[in-house]
Amino acid sequence: MAELKVGGLALVFGLRKNPQANGKCVRLLMKVSPREVFKSPVSNKTLIHGEKTPSWICEGDIKHTHLKENGWASFDHKNLMPIDGDDFQHEDEQLKELTYG
């Protein structure tokens, strides 16, 4: 399965506090650790990641629930499914091997 990586695309799923973001496609900008300082990708404000676990800062048709900024949000890795297409690359190779021996 493809991994989450900076610049990659992912689908958001499994959110309970922000369910309107479920099903959205986002681009992964950076991974932040607890208490890490980073800049908002929209307003360029300096922020501190206040969660207890690492998160991905993502951009897309989403809204940050606490800051009320449109265009970005942070998500736990368990709520992101990579969709860059890497998943099927090896399956095609295996099919060719089976077909052509």
* Measured distance CA(75)–CA(67) in Å, rounded: 14
Query: What pLDDT does residue 78 have?
Result: 96
pLDDT in tens, 83-92: 976 555 555 6
Q: How many CB atoms lie within 10 A of CB 35?
A: 10
Instruction: Give CA separation, 70 vs 21, 23, 96, in Å.
Output: 12, 17, 45
| Cα Rg of the chain (Å, integer) | 16
Quickly tell me which residue has 């099919």 as its tokens.
Answer: 95
pLDDT in tens, 31-80: 999 999 999 999 999 999 999 999 999 999 998 877 788 999 999 999 99
Angle made by CA atoms 65, 70, 76, in degrees to the nearest 5: 50
Q: Where are the domains of the chain?
A: 9-100
pTM: 0.79
